[in-house]
Amino acid sequence: MALSFFSQCGFFSKISPKNLEIMSSLVKQHFYKKGTLILNYEQSSTTFLYLIKGWVKLFKESSDGKEVIVDILNNDHYCGEQFFFKKEHENDPYKAQSISDVEVFTMSISSLYQLISSDSHLSASLLQDILRKQQHLNMEVEHLSIQNSAQRIGCFILRLSALQDEEKITFRLPFDKGLLASRLSMCPETFSRAFNTLTKECEITMDGNVIHVNNVNSVARYVCEHCTKVFPCKESIN
Amino acid sequence: MALSFFSQCGFFSKISPKNLEIMSSLVKQHFYKKGTLILNYEQSSTTFLYLIKGWVKLFKESSDGKEVIVDILNNDHYCGEQFFFKKEHENDPYKAQSISDVEVFTMSISSLYQLISSDSHLSASLLQDILRKQQHLNMEVEHLSIQNSAQRIGCFILRLSALQDEEKITFRLPFDKGLLASRLSMCPETFSRAFNTLTKECEITMDGNVIHVNNVNSVARYVCEHCTKVFPCKESIN
DNA sequence: CGAAGAGTTGAGACAAATCAAGGTGCGTGG
DNA sequence: CCACGCACCTTGATTTGTCTCAACTCTTCG
């Protein structure tokens, strides 16, 4: 891969020139079609996966066979950093599957860890990223206890909308509704009904996979009612 | 504070001798009685708080005035690391209140960050700690979507029990039931009823604040039914 | 003794999951 | 081109889980 690529690549942009060289010899670039299993349980615990473009779902199966969504990754998200310090038997692995056509690069966790260890700017940049992720997880926990289903959907849409800076927004859902429901910890039926109440409560409609937000503030008024933050809360999408 | 203290103190045990000197001049030790407000919103975003001994609750107030528990800290837990990179206006602050008599030390976030930046062993050790925290948050999210109230209580008790290595265990709840209910995202009434079902479903009873677990495995059977992990799952208490 | 705080219990309301039945859009094979 | 199957989504009926409100008990502490 081109060295110049990494210089725009999330936390890697802080990598030292020397390590940049080393790194480019360690990574492998891959292209996968929608629906491909990218990592199985075993691979996940030794592989650092960086998503250049597309959408990837991370998931596990619970002991009674249901799929549990761990996370949904988008451009410049990554996974695997939690295994830096893990011994084999402590692992809590997952599977990764593409839910769109995707472009990724991978490298082994251990070699990334060596890079990090020898590059204090890189490690600071990673730390910053991880703390942001942690903030997001804190928000998720909070929302699961104070928001109802319709509000969780609305909040997700607001965060997608935040990428644009308009009053009226139209965009396509990045993946199917069943998966989004699952990501937001509700069943598909609840998702469908909750979206109806969202339409009733504020100026937002859905046509197939296309969302029309006619007034962002009306959505925020309904969604952020019980939240400890104030909209616009500038969180990342996931 | 004694230099030797930090050498046994969570991730600080990896601090270099030189930084250890510097650090000991930066920290302030405090003792607070149960019920003291240790940090207000403003202080929280500039203060690193390390809990040497006792229990501290971190909380916020939502826009409709309800208290939302962010975390409950115990020996060797800390808070404030999320502000390393935060600009003033991005802050998502909280309050900290002691829920037992406590012993803590504090230092400013910025001076801790300088220490971290100049000490790669220390920063690696911090990173490890933070990744553990992140794992725990992931687990919390997962549990909120797949466990019912009784299972969440049971899971909390199992994690407290994991500190001991016996079949039959008796211990005292470290803080009152209302707070625990809130920490587990349920109301006090639900906590009370859910504990009754727990007693019915497995060999566990409660007498005041004292929990008797007569058979750890019977609890695990009920609690871990839908989980993606296998008991004993060796998570930290909080 | 009385007041306050913590915990429990019951009744009713409400939210979400489950179960069951249809609808819609789409690609494939005839 | 149509017909079929299939995946995705929606809707309705029912059940389950949790919250809310209110009443009551128990303990503690002045």
Contact between A142 and A212 (Cβ < 8 Å): no
Q: Which nucleotides of chain D are near protein (any atom < 7 Å from a CB)?
A: 8-13, 17-22
Nearest-angstrom CA–CA distance, B41 and B12: 26
Per the structure block, which two tokens stand in for B120?
Answer: 């790669």
Do B213 and B204 contact (CB within 8 A), yes or no?
A: yes
B199 residue type, one letter: T
CA A172 to chain centre: 17
- Who has greater pLDDT, B8 or B148? B148
pTM: 0.94
**Closest residue in B to A71 (Cα–Cα):** B138
Residue with tokens 């001994």: B53
pLDDT digits (tens, 9 = 90+) for A118-177: 999 999 999 999 999 999 999 999 999 999 999 999 999 999 987 777 778 999 999 999
Nearest-neighbour CA in chain A from B62: distance (Å):
4
Nearest to B227 among A62, A70, A123 (CB): A62
Q: CA A159 to CA A40: how far, in whole Å?
A: 30
- Averaged pLDDT score across all residues of chain A: 92
Show the CA angle centred on residue B205, arms to residues B202 and B210, nearest 5°. 145
**For residue B56, what are the β-bridge partners?**
B73, B98
Q: Helices marked H in chain A — which ranges?
A: 3-6, 17-26, 41-44, 109-117, 120-146, 149-161, 177-183, 188-201, 216-223
* Longest CA–CA separation in chain B, Å: 57
Say if residue A237's pLDDT is above 70.
no
The pLDDT of residue A211 is above 60: yes
Dihedral Cα A204, A205, A209, A213, nearest 10 deg: -30
pLDDT of res. B107:
97
Nearest beta carbon to residue B70 from set A64, A123, A138: A138
The two structure tokens encoding residue A73: 């990754």
Find the residue in B nearest to A140 (Cα): B141
Instruction: Give residue A234's pLDDT.
Output: 65
User: Identity (one letter) of the amino acid at B221?
Assistant: R
The secondary structure element, H or E, covering residue B92 is none
The single residue listed with the structure tokens 């060999």 is B203
